[in-house]
Amino acid sequence: MQGSEPAGRGPVRYGPPVPPTGLPVDDGSAAVLASAAGAVRGEPPGGGAALREAACGYWARRGLHCGPDEVVAASGAQPLLFALLGAYDGDVLVPRPCPAWWVPQARLLGRPAYHVPTPAECGGVPDPFALLETVRRVRAEGGRPRILLLSVADDPTATVAPPETLRETCEAAVGEGLHIISDETWRDTLHAPAATVLLSPAEMCPGDVTVISDLVGALTPESWPVAVARFPQGAAAAARRARTLDFITALGAVVPAPLAAAAAYVLGEPEAVAERAVRAVAVHARLAAAVHRAVLAAGALALPPQAGRHLYADLGPLRAGLAERGVGDSMELEDHLGGLLGTSVPGGHRFGDELGALRVRLSTGPLLGSTPDEQHAALTAPDVLRLPHVDAALGRLAGVLHELGDAGPGPGLER
């Protein structure tokens, strides 16, 4: 479990990890990694030609064409974003809530980071009117807002921003001279891809958007740190890419050669990788829908999850029952709920929400089992919810939520 500050453990060193897959490493990727283990020559800063070309192919299949000279790879999303922020300069604006690892990058660079409210229907993208107001306020106070970080498929809210909302926000940002960094880590984890329209800001404002993607979203295990960035075309972007490479070199954030080979393999999306990714998304979508039902049945709130391996629950309606248990803010809720469930349940304060808001991110990965056999069964079962260990884990979660709200034993989860 991830602890909180009163135990002497700070928010950066002990911030929440990305929502885990809860699944074993696939055999094909592991075989490629093992076969490259004897590589003597390392990758250059920013990634070798094979890795960058594979990233170009990945983005081209999603309508975002680019060349290898417009791509940079790094050993994880955190150093990559740190390098990008260093290269682009200026104050940073982020949605509230936002991924827990974004703001620390700006603060480590000595940059202010300003949270902007999101629309009621989604997270990840600031409300356009709130964005304009925040930019003007920051400038009036002597700040230099230059960068907007957003995520169309969002952590922590698991929502996907509607195209019309995204367009209004992007137009507002570009109109105010902001460069957009679009984190598209979760774009390949849509729960209903045929019914969900996901557009990248780079499709709307191609000259003003840098796209980043952590491969842990859909393609690699969380223990394999690889992330890639796609820069716009033009001389100014080329100069910023060069500056980003300076930061990556100084940080030593170079992708190890064996891992680069495995990353290039999965970015090529061979049939086995693509099929496994689709199955994994379907499993997590089924689990997320069941967790969402449990949250609502307990009297709490959450937007329907649309992507990722998580959802964002607001336990504010259970405040009275939580207060009886000594829980009055999200730090206490994180500790209390995490202790009951035996897993990391990061509170909303980790994501920039107000401390008094009783919000938590619930991950679906821990529901898949604790052994390789249980996890493999979850990946291959016709209906993951009918596996005894998954059913037991969901029942425990539902029971804990009902108990927190003093709602009695509660109904069983609908299958």
Give yes or no for residue 7 having a pLDDT over 60.
no
Is 170 in contact with 205 (CB distance < 8 Å)? yes
Question: Which of 360, 302, 303 is closest to 333 using CA atoms?
Answer: 360
Neighbours of 247 (CB within 10 A): 21
Mean pLDDT of all residues in 64-81: 97
- Whole-number Å distance between alpha carbons of 210 and 131: 19
Residue 41 has a pLDDT of 86
Residue 412 has a pLDDT of 40
The 3-state secondary structure of 13-47 reads: CCCCCCCCCCCCCCHHHHHHHHHCCCCCCCCCCEC
Q: Model confidence at 408, in pLDDT bands (50, 70, 90)? A: very low
Cα-Cα end-to-end distance for the chain: 29
Give yes or no for residue 9 having a pLDDT over 60.
no
Mean pLDDT of all residues in 237-247: 97
Residue 13 has a pLDDT of 60
Tokens 């960035």, located at residue: 229
Query: 116-162 pLDDT, tens per residue?
Result: 999 999 999 999 999 999 999 999 999 999 999 999 999 999 999 99
| pTM over 0.75, yes/no | yes
Query: 195-217 pLDDT, tens per residue?
Result: 999 999 999 999 999 999 999 99
Least confident of 2-6, 22-26, 45-49, 178-182: 2-6
Q: Model confidence at 28, in pLDDT bands (50, 70, 90)? A: very high
Give yes or no for residue 387 having a pLDDT over 80.
yes
Residue 411 has a pLDDT of 41
Mean pLDDT of all residues in 343-353: 95
Pairing of strands 227-230, 71-74: antiparallel
Mean pLDDT of all residues in 219-233: 95
CA distances from 11 to 16, 17, 20, 136 (A): 9, 12, 19, 30
- Whole-number Å distance between alpha carbons of 136 and 130: 10
